[in-house]
Amino acid sequence: MTKLLVVRLSALGDVIHTIPAVVALRERYDDIAWAVETPYRELVEIVAKVKAIPVSLKKWSLTNVNDARKNVRGFDVAIDFQGLIKSALLARVSGAKERIGFAQKHIKEKPAAWFLTREVNIDASKHVVDWNLQLAGVTTMPEVDFAPFATGELDSGGAVILLPGAGRPEKIWPAERFRALAQRLGDRALVVWGPGEEERARAIGARMTPKTSLRELAKLLKTASLVIGGDTGPLHLADALGTKVIGLHGPTNPRRNGPYSQLHRCISTYGTTKRMESIEVDDVLAMIE
């Protein structure tokens, strides 16, 4: 039996975008494990239905590196969906003789390709979900069900969820714009926030959810009538759950990084200023209508 190691460590949106490729790979491999950052362990196991190998490599330490190295050994094939030096190193120390990844021109950290035995050229004009499918050698999108992941007592009650945070400052829509939008939405607005985002969320001045786990967040997103936010993991999770979304894009290209099944519901300045500040409240209200 051929043992396959999948490497895509983080972040939330990237893990979500990798899941379809891994689901498709289950048809070719009976034994698949996925090296992923600990917070996404349940997501991988419940939705992709493969074994998760939790690692903690966001913060480098000798202990974390040694633990990861011990846990990823004994594989025949490794596919690096991340294209970073640390992900390529994990593939290398897994013992896999066949190590597959994106061609060097497609990855951020070019030396990562040195650890591969096979580089795959892909059509870079497509969405990152399609990148991952191409890397896996898949031609059709498999059926993926995220619904079992959305559990918990919290329910948004059909609210319009606002996501004020993002992984990088340049992807954040100004809080005053969210505040003006919330005022127009009235009682329908509900602000959902994550680690380090509470102050920004409070500045919007609308109803806020309590601190949530990832699965509670999924339940809130699934029960919303609409989710509005930038290029951030929760927006992609909402899209994967089948909830209507509006994606706000400035520095990232929605054709590559937008909500995969709802690219027509993106407001983008990528082709002009690439600035989130260039997106007006009226632009969002028009899209809502």
User: pLDDT averaged over the chain?
Assistant: 96
pLDDT of residue 60: 65
- What residue has token string 């050994």? 73
- The DSSP secondary structure of 204-215, one letter per residue, reads T-SEE-----HH
CA distance 79 to 136: 8
Q: Specify the amino acid at residue 200.
A: R
Please say whether the beta carbons of 72 and 90 come within 8 A: yes
pTM of the full structure: 0.96
Compute the average pLDDT of residues 5-18: 98
pLDDT of residue 67: 82
Q: Specify the amino acid at residue 266.
A: C
Non-local (6+) Cβ contacts of 3 within 8 A are: 29, 31, 32, 33, 74, 75, 76, 77
Name the band, by pLDDT with cuts 50, 70 and 90, for residue 261: very high
Name the band, by pLDDT with cuts 50, 70 and 90, for residue 187: very high
Compute the average pLDDT of residues 112-121: 98
Please write the tens of the pLDDT for every residue from 56-102: 888 766 677 778 888 999 999 999 999 999 999 999 999 999 999 99
What the block records as the tokens of 17 is: 């975008």
Res 218 pLDDT > 70: yes
pLDDT-wise least confident of 9-23, 52-66, 187-201: 52-66
Please provide the distance, in angstroms rounded to a whole number, between the alpha carbons at the two ends of the chain: 54
